[in-house]
């Protein structure tokens, strides 16, 4: 389920949506000088990541959804573990988690967006290995 060939692999490990080999971003999401910059092409299969100008603006909608899902997950974990936090404590916990994960959320959102438009090609993946 999480091996090469699954969209989840490409999304979570920030790999090329077509070959699952090449890096999707120019650097680590937490590297501020290259903060979530998407490469022009895949270094392995030469897939052009930006099919039109401003292509990744749509990933903002995905980012919102991922952020909401994480906020709900943090709230549910607080309830499951029975932490007796006030409303301000719960809100603060959610904000801290979202701020700490913000670079990764942005990167994963761009990867999810790209995976909507590009699909895995086993023949190309075998060629580039």
Residue 2, domain member (yes or no)? no
- Number of neighbours of residue 29 by Cβ within 10 angstroms: 20
pLDDT (0 to 100) of residue 129: 77
Q: Is residue 110 part of a domain?
A: yes
Contacts of 34 (CB under 8 A, 6+ apart): 25, 26, 27, 28
In terms of residue numbers, what domain contains 77? Answer: 7-128
Average pLDDT, integer, range 66-90: 96
Place of tokens 């990167």: 107
Domain contains 1? no
In this prediction, residue 48 carries a pLDDT of 96
Q: Is 83 exposed, middle or buried (0-12, 13-18, 19+ CB in 10 A)?
A: exposed
In a domain, 14, yes or no: yes
Query: Is residue 71 domain-resident?
Result: yes
**Residue 105: inside a domain:** yes
Span 2-17, pLDDT tens digits: 788 899 999 999 999 9
The Cα–Cα gap between 96 and 2 comes to: 28
pLDDT for the residue 1 = 65
Domain count along the chain: 1
pTM value?
Answer: 0.90
3-state secondary structure 94-114: HHHHHHHHHHHHHHHHHHHHH
- Does some domain include residue 27? yes
> Would you say residue 119 lies in a domain?
yes
């Amino acid at each position: 389920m999480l091996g090469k060939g699954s969209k989840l692999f490409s999304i979570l490990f920030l790999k090329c949506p077509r070959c699952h080999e090449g890096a999707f971003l120019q650097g680590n999401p937490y590297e501020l000088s290259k903060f979530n910059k998407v490469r022009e092409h895949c270094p392995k299969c030469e897939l052009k990541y930006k099919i039109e100008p401003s292509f990744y603006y749509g990933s903002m909608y995905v980012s919102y959804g991922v952020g909401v899902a994480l906020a709900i997950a943090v709230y549910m974990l607080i309830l499951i573990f029975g932490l007796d936090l006030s409303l301000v404590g719960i809100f603060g916990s959610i904000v801290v988690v979202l701020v700490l994960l913000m670079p990764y959320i942005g990167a994963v959102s761009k990867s999810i967006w790209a995976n909507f438009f590009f699909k895995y090609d086993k023949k190309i993946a075998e060629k580039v290995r």
